Structure 1
Amino acid sequence: MIFLKNDKKILSQEDRIDNFRELLDRSVRRYGEREAFILKINHKEPAEYRRIIYKEFREEVDRLGTALTELGLKGAKIGVIGENRYEWCLSYLAVTCGCGVIVPIDKELHADEVAMILNQSEAEVLIFSGKIFDKNLQDALKLNDTVRILICMDEERHEAENKEYFTIGELLQRGAQLLENGDRSYLDAEIDSHAMSVLLFTSGTTGVAKGVMLSQRNICADIESVTQCLDNDCTDSVLSILPIHHTYECTCDFLEILYMGARIAFCDGLRYIAKNVQEYQPTILMLVPLIIENVYSKIMKQASSNPVKRVAFRCMLWTSGGLQHIGFKNAGRKMFRQVHETLGGRLRLIIAGAAAMNPKISKDMNRMGFKLRQGYGLTECSPILCVSRDTGNADASVGPAMPRIEVKIVNQDKDGRGEIVARGENIMLGYYRDPEATAAVLKEDGWFYTGDRGYMDKYGRVYITGRIKNMIVNKTGKNIYPEELEEKLMKIPYILECVVWGDDDAKEDDTVICATIVPKEEVITEKTRLSMEDTQGIHDLIWKEVKKVNKGLPTYKKIQRLVIRREEFEKTTTKKIKRYLSNITKFLTSGDGNDSGSSGKAV
């Protein structure tokens, strides 16, 4: 295996951290007077902001942690649920720097799912945002018998039957008084860096929730490795957009940013990304491909408003790529200055994670002068395993393994494709109270079996081709990976989303490859005369393009049935399609996708 030797930083002994308290100590020592957070406290124009320096943040962590300890919560499981905000970050570190185990919860979950996590984790406390204390959260608490204390991130009070109730503001005051009186129970608490400190319940796209146990050393090891791979420092600023309960956002856009001494601002919501990037002018954005693709689509739409502009823009992309190739690294930034201004004017680095990135979009964004880097990982890996670097990139690759992490491909087929496995200090402790599930993926020699299929080139760069669990096997034993076909289908301009799946057809006596398609309404209405109510016309339009894709596929991989779906697929909070909800036979049509076409039905 050959690794790319272009990792930016060498970590000194002082840079090594085993736990979050050491992370905060280091950041306060180095960046104490620098801004850690900028908070919008008044959304009316002109907006008002609160700026919090590292030293102040550390003081508030100690105050809240001291108050929680005084409530008898040492070692307790403490849930936290809410939107991306300062109080979420404060709660996370106050719990983990000497009090208990944090249990981050997705605010978009239904009441029964929230209750399941609270019950399964045996959470004694729930820290929540007042914005989501609605019927859903109240119903979740009715289904739970473990939570005895509620803590609101806001100053408002809610009905909380048979539970102690506090606000974070009250606890900060209480903790300050305790510290002033000499209470050092929290400050002097020993932290076991290798014990479970974070308990994350992840179902991903499979629908089966599992509790992932992470230690502080797991996460700190990942932070150290990410830092060596990325060109960021204390002069940077980020806009926190993705759900912060997710390890990708929490590790990379919160903890690693604090480690670097940079500044964090919080997005007001997906609808406000364009406004917020102008407002906060971030230098780094951590995103999922779907958001990047939406940004790219808007850029290209504006650049293609007439044929002359479209050709000129394409020529500029080609020219910028050539100039970058011969060493003019800032060519894209200068040539596409207007594009950069629409994204705040300071954005230089975009990290794409949590799903596959379209290689063409990656290449074009890099040519526009944005460093678009791809990462790959799983919650069980704290989460990052691989990330592309400044040099030696391949647009379709997620890059080589990060420093001090081993990645290899096992059970390879004749093309060198197999399961991706990884080993390193960042790998989870196991699944909570589920030794069988743990043993199935985490072997005694430390190798974690990701369940992802891919391959590695001679430079050690990793390519993801799909999930092994999604694999379709036909009657002759041929393997078909839906993600491979979906990538090809998504190049059709009329398709917004798609899911490829297999149906065991008794008539055909084989597994039929099917594709459920969500049409891209904007493109169809702009480029054709079709109405979105003309289901058959849309089906025929897309089927014509699918047949072109089929020409480049072996017979057993050809898409034989096409279904038109009007509603977008349900997704996880990191914008992955929930395949277990999408891959159902009611979306099938009776038509056959042969050369004469097939009938379609909107569902």
Structure 2
Amino acid sequence: MNSKKYKDVFYEFRYINDLKDMLNSSAELFSDCNAYMVKDVPGGEYRPILYKEMKHDVDALGTRLIDLGLKGKKIAVIGENSYRWVISYLGTTNGTGVIVPLDRELPPKEIANLMKRADVSAIIYSQKLADTVETALAEVEGVRYRINMAEKEHKENILSFEKLLEEGAALISKGDRRFLDAEIDREAMCTLLFTSGTTGLAKGVMLSHKNITANVYNMSKYVNIRQPGVGLSVLPMHHSYEMTCHIFTGCYQGMCIAICEGLKYIQKNMKESRATVMLGVPLVFETMHKRIWKQAENSGKAQMMRKMVGLSRKLKLYNKPKAVKKIFAQIHQSIGDNMALFIVGGAAVNPDVVRDYEAMGLPMIQGYGMTENAPIITVNRDYYSKADSAGKPMPGTEVKIIDQDKDGIGEIICRGPSVMIGYYDNPEATAEVLKDGWLYTGDYGRFDSEGFLYICGRKKNVIVTKNGKNVFPEEVEYYLQQSEYIEEVVVYGTLDEKSEDTVIYAEIFPNFEALKEELGEIGEEELRRFMKTVIDEANEQMPLYKRVKRFKLRQEEFEKTTTRKIKRYGQPPKEA
């Protein structure tokens, strides 16, 4: 469903003051509904956990953490996505102290560095991260407790998560109400999130209960999860996009969260869990999209599918869900036959991918945000969206475009209840982005006549030519990636010594599989000649000053953050 008649529709939801209020009210409203579906063994069957059981476990853990003397302290959590990861988060924020989520893919030295910077008093970790955590702890002083999510019994210097739940429940049964009755200061820091930015040193973003719950509450006015809703948790939980938009919004609206076993199990887990909602980054959805078309090509149905997708777009069949689902039944069945909404964020997505999914009866909306705003700033409505837009400002969030050029493009700034407290122990960096209550995002964008926001690129990535023209690398990358022969690309500006002007340079990771199918086995020179024709075709779609003048081919994919964004290092390789 995608119709302009829904442009002014706001869903009504209960107000929540903080994360404790969110969980407690949901546990009351959805007491006997499934809150989570987990697998006790890899490849096993999903086992449900009810909302009342979730609240019981949060209360038990929080009570025991306070009993350990961790009231007001910082507690780190690290590990793959799991139910116990979420319990660790809420068992800390809802009455104990400050949670410090850590990226499980960081090396031990960096984990140690972040624990030192945050002054962590305890760490909760999964068994898979046990060795990594032990190596990191060897370099850190002051961590009083290490809590293993998988241990059945306490050991000499390692506490069992399971035993802590048992002991916390026993304390509550004896009348211990220190956690249950703990008052929440919604303005104070409850979460310290270290950004996994694509450039520079990680900054510690301080978020409050107000920041996070305002995001959940206001986003829900645009996006309503139809019941019975099941969300497949794919993205890492240490990232605010997954935690706020999926885990917490799901909890708030009474959705069940199914824990995905890993990226290669997405399709399998979709079917098993009967998932209706999934959040992802562009790479996840674009990979699925390529696979759908590849299967159509292999089965000889691609031409017919292109015809039907085109017809669906033209006749707006996506506004007739039952009919379009019947037309594309095979695709729906391949992902469990229940998917109702894809939500994409974290980076720019190819709008044609969004349009294709929508035409196939798989609505996809995108939003825009950053950790510093907990994270959503703008988002499309579930029933009225534009494929190439990041949506409209959330209710309660004011967004402006400043220092606009002749095309209305300028820096995006915002203010509202979700703007962070600041950067931890870094007043200088805070002052650079927070000015008179406004968050300066460092992103360029523009609004259309209806108030939809379009993201143009990062301010620090913009390439400025000698005659003052601005080139957004993201735009050039978009045109290049229209080719099936380009898997990944990063665009830079580099100085041409002859003209003394900045020219556009592209570093490309080719789609070697597609190239082999098209050309067979070829040498480096022939490959380079062919890729030059691919680049020339893309250049024809751009004005002269945006065209790629130099390029390099690489044999390996680019290094990425854990949310699958390519890490940019600001400058092209020396051989450029």
Residue 80 (str. 1) matches residue 77 (str. 2):
yes
Residue 548 (str. 1) matches residue 545 (str. 2):
no
Of 150, 153, 166, 2:149 maps to: 153
Q: Is the 8 A contact 2:479 2:541 kept in 1?
A: no
Q: Is the 8 A contact 2:250 2:257 kept in 1?
A: yes
Whole-angstrom distance in 1 between the partners of 2:71 and 2:22: 21
Q: Which residue of 2 is the match for residue 538 of structure 1?
A: 527
Q: Which residue of 1 is the match for residue 473 of structure 2?
A: 482
Structure 1 residues 159 and 234: CA distance shift in structure 2, 3 A: same
Tell me the SS of whatever aligns to 1:133: helix
Counterpart mapping for 1:20-59 below 5 A? 20-43=19-42, 47-59=44-56
The Cα offsets for residues 523-566 of structure 1, whole Å up to 9 and x where unpaired, read as 111122343xx222222111112112223333322211110001
Residue 66 (str. 1) matches residue 92 (str. 2):
no
Q: Give the deviation of 1:508 after TM superposition.
A: 3.7
Structure 1 residues 218 and 85: CA distance shift in structure 2, 3 A: same
Q: Which residue of 2 is the match for residue 9 of structure 1?
A: 11
The amino acid of 1:63's aligned partner reads A
The amino acid of 2:150's aligned partner reads D
Q: Is the 8 A contact 2:59 2:180 kept in 1?
A: yes
Q: Give the deviation of 1:255 after TM superposition.
A: 0.8
The amino acid of 2:405's aligned partner reads D
Q: Give the deviation of 1:401 after TM superposition.
A: 1.1
Q: Which residue of 1 is the match for residue 422 of structure 2?
A: 430
Q: Which stretch has the larger CA shift, 19-28 or 77-86?
A: 19-28
Whole-angstrom distance in 1 between the partners of 2:470 and 2:315: 42
Segments of structure 2 that go 5 or more residues without pairing to the other structure are none
Q: Give the deviation of 1:391 after TM superposition.
A: 4.4
Give the TM-score, by structure 1 length.
Answer: 0.92
Structure 1 residues 148 and 497: CA distance shift in structure 2, 3 A: same
Whole-angstrom distance in 2 between the partners of 1:271 and 1:391: 30
Structure 1 residues 23 and 390: CA distance shift in structure 2, 3 A: closer
Residue 121 (str. 1) matches residue 106 (str. 2):
no
Counterpart mapping for 1:154-173 below 5 A? 154-155=150-151, 164-173=157-166
Q: Give the deviation of 1:133 after TM superposition.
A: 1.2
Q: Is the 8 A contact 1:198 1:213 kept in 2?
A: yes
The Cα offsets for residues 429-480 of structure 1, whole Å up to 9 and x where unpaired, read as 1111111111111111x21111111111010101111000111223333322
Whole-angstrom distance in 1 between the partners of 2:62 and 2:32: 22
Residue 586 (str. 1) matches residue 574 (str. 2):
yes
Q: Which residue of 2 is the match for residue 282 of structure 1?
A: 275
Q: Give the deviation of 1:62 after TM superposition.
A: 0.6
Give the TM-score, by structure 2 length.
Answer: 0.96
Of 130, 136, 142, 1:140 maps to: 136
The amino acid of 2:11's aligned partner reads K
Q: Is the 8 A contact 1:324 1:331 kept in 2?
A: no
Whole-angstrom distance in 2 between the partners of 1:550 and 1:230: 38
Q: Give the deviation of 1:200 after TM superposition.
A: 0.2
| RMSD of equivalent CA atoms | 1.9
Residue 94 (str. 1) matches residue 111 (str. 2):
no
The amino acid of 1:56's aligned partner reads E
Q: Give the deviation of 1:21 after TM superposition.
A: 1.1
Q: Which residue of 1 is the match for residue 565 of structure 2?
A: 576
Q: Is the 8 A contact 1:81 1:104 kept in 2?
A: yes
The Cα offsets for residues 44-73 of structure 1, whole Å up to 9 and x where unpaired, read as 5xx344321111110111110000001111
Structure 1 residues 190 and 429: CA distance shift in structure 2, 3 A: same
Q: Is the 8 A contact 1:194 1:217 kept in 2?
A: yes
Tell me the SS of whatever aligns to 1:75: coil
Q: Which residue of 2 is the match for residue 240 of structure 1?
A: 233
Q: Give the deviation of 1:7 after TM superposition.
A: 3.5
Q: Which stretch has the larger CA shift, 108-117 or 371-380?
A: 108-117
Q: Which stretch has the larger CA shift, 66-75 or 203-212?
A: 203-212
The Cα offsets for residues 375-401 of structure 1, whole Å up to 9 and x where unpaired, read as 110001111111112444321111111
Q: Which residue of 2 is the match for residue 253 of structure 1?
A: 246
Q: Is the 8 A contact 1:268 1:276 kept in 2?
A: yes
The amino acid of 1:243's aligned partner reads P
Whole-angstrom distance in 2 between the partners of 1:539 and 1:241: 37
Whole-angstrom distance in 1 between the partners of 2:272 and 2:540: 48
Tell me the SS of whatever aligns to 2:393: coil
Q: Is the 8 A contact 1:320 1:335 kept in 2?
A: no
Q: Which residue of 2 is the match for residue 342 of structure 1?
A: 334
Whole-angstrom distance in 2 between the partners of 1:3 and 1:334: 25
Q: Give the deviation of 1:159 after TM superposition.
A: 8.7
Q: Is the 8 A contact 1:278 1:344 kept in 2?
A: yes
Percentage of pairs with the same residue: 44
Residue 529 (str. 1) matches residue 528 (str. 2):
no
Whole-angstrom distance in 2 between the partners of 1:42 and 1:434: 43
Structure 1 residues 347 and 4: CA distance shift in structure 2, 3 A: closer
Q: Which residue of 1 is the match for residue 503 of structure 2?
A: 512
The amino acid of 2:262's aligned partner reads G
Q: Which residue of 1 is the match for residue 346 of structure 2?
A: 354
Q: Is the 8 A contact 1:453 1:468 kept in 2?
A: yes
Residue 223 (str. 1) matches residue 212 (str. 2):
no
Whole-angstrom distance in 2 between the partners of 1:254 and 1:359: 26
Q: Which stretch has the larger CA shift, 257-266 or 326-335?
A: 326-335
Whole-angstrom distance in 2 between the partners of 1:180 and 1:545: 69
Q: Give the deviation of 1:353 after TM superposition.
A: 0.6
Q: Which stretch has the larger CA shift, 139-148 or 69-78?
A: 139-148
Task: Work out the number of aligned pairs and report it.
Answer: 573
Of 415, 420, 434, 2:412 maps to: 420
Whole-angstrom distance in 2 between the partners of 1:49 and 1:568: 34
Counterpart mapping for 1:455-474 below 5 A? 455-474=446-465
Of 461, 474, 484, 1:493 maps to: 484
Residue 266 (str. 1) matches residue 268 (str. 2):
no
Q: Is the 8 A contact 2:71 2:96 kept in 1?
A: yes
Structure 1 residues 212 and 323: CA distance shift in structure 2, 3 A: same
The amino acid of 2:528's aligned partner reads H
Whole-angstrom distance in 1 between the partners of 2:543 and 2:205: 40
Whole-angstrom distance in 2 between the partners of 1:3 and 1:391: 9
Structure 1 residues 391 and 284: CA distance shift in structure 2, 3 A: closer
Structure 1 residues 272 and 392: CA distance shift in structure 2, 3 A: closer
Q: Which residue of 2 is the match for residue 599 of structure 1?
A: none
